[in-house]
Amino acid sequence: MAINWYKYASPASFYTLAGKMVPFFAIIAFGLLIAGLYIGFFVAPTDFQQGEAYRIIFIHVPAAWMSMFLYVVMAFWAGIGLAFNTRLSSMMATAIAPTGALFTFLALWTGSLWGKPMWGTWWVWDARLTSELILLFLYIGFMSLQAAIDDPRRADKAGAIIALVGVINIPIIYFSVQWWNTLHQGASVSVTQAPTMAATMLTGMMVMVFASWMYSIAVILKRVRVIILERESHTTWVAELREKGAL
């Protein structure tokens, strides 16, 4: 059966489709999260160098990966929205930003928690943590800009420009921070460089990565639905939904 993808490019039909997909992804995310945490905290062996504290990587690493990946996805959708004037793509970008910022914050928080037993301090100006902090600034900039603009069309386009400028700059920023870090001889130990990674550790981590994926998809779709309703509130199909009592 061929799916008519163009049909789902319209907010109205995407709204229904997303509504059907959200529970599906949410359930998978929940299942994977339970499994991943179980493997991470009960099955995976204790690390002989770092003791029990290393277990934070089961949250830290997926969060750090998602934070960077989501920024690129956000910039991609925003760019598509700017180039082809497709409203739904821009709404996707807007919906992704808070989740990306959340993961960035989570990565920073867990990184800091991990730092206390390892380095004896809550914060180290490690290259990865610093880049993660700057990434959080970029997310905040994107969200504040969109929040400050009343006209949704202008907000979409302005957000797209800053997201694209950001995505071009991320490698430059990352490289600069690396350089800065080696020059100043900061702490170069990193959470991801656990010397011996047991197979169960890797499994646990990958399960958690997939759980983050599913969670992100579920939450982003849910948020897109809200944005669609807000922007399309004056249209007839929303009015029909309201009459049917579906809202």
Partner 1 sequence: MFFWIVQRDLLLAVRRRSDVLTTLFFFIIVVSLFPLSVGPEMNMLRTMAPGVVWVAALLASMLSLGRLFASDYLDGTLEQMLLSPHSLPFLVLGKALAHWLVSGVPLVMMAPVLGIQYDLPLDALFVLTLSLMLGTPVLSLIGAIGAGLTLGLRGSGVLVSLLVLPLYIPVLIFGAGAVEANMAGVEFDAHLSLLGAFLLVSIVFAPWAAAASLRVSME
Partner 2 sequence: MFQGTNLACVRGDRKLFESISFKLEAGGLMQVNGPNGSGKTSLLRILCGLSSPGMGIISWNDVAIGTLGSEYFRELTYIGHLSGTKDDLTALENLRISSALAGQKISDKQAQDALTYMGLRGRESLPAKVLSQGQRRRVALARLLVCKTKLWILDEPLAALDVSAVKLMQALLEQHLKQEGMVIMTTHQDIDVTAASTIQLQLA
Which residue, 170 or 198, is less far from partner 1 as judged by CB? 170
Report the candidate in 71, 10, 7 with the shortest Cα–Cα distance to residue 231.
Answer: 10
Both structure tokens of 40:
């991470």
Rounded to a whole number of angstroms, the minimum distance from the CB of residue 223 to partner 1 is 22
Mark residues 141-160: x for contact with partner 2 by CB under 8 A, - for none: ---------xx---------
Our CA angle for 216, 142, 153, nearest 5°, is: 95
188 binds partner 2 (CB under 8 A): no
Which of 9, 33, 113, 134 touches partner 1 (CB under 8 A)?
Answer: 134
- Quickly tell me which residue has 């598509």 as its tokens: 80
233 binds partner 2 (CB under 8 A): yes
Report the candidate in 3, 68, 33, 73 with the shortest Cα–Cα distance to residue 224.
Answer: 73
Number of H helices, E strands in the chain: 7, 0
Rounded to a whole number of angstroms, the minimum distance from the CB of residue 176 to partner 1 is 4
- End-to-end Cα distance, the chain: 31
Which residue, 46 or 182, is less far from partner 1 as judged by CB? 182
140 binds partner 1 (CB under 8 A): yes
222 binds partner 1 (CB under 8 A): no
One-letter amino acid at 91 equals M
Kindly state the DSSP code that residue 46 receives in the 8-state scheme. Answer: P
Binding site for partner 1 (CB under 8 A): 134, 137-138, 140-141, 144-145, 148-149, 151, 153-154, 157-158, 161-162, 164-166, 168-169, 172-173, 175-177, 179-180, 183
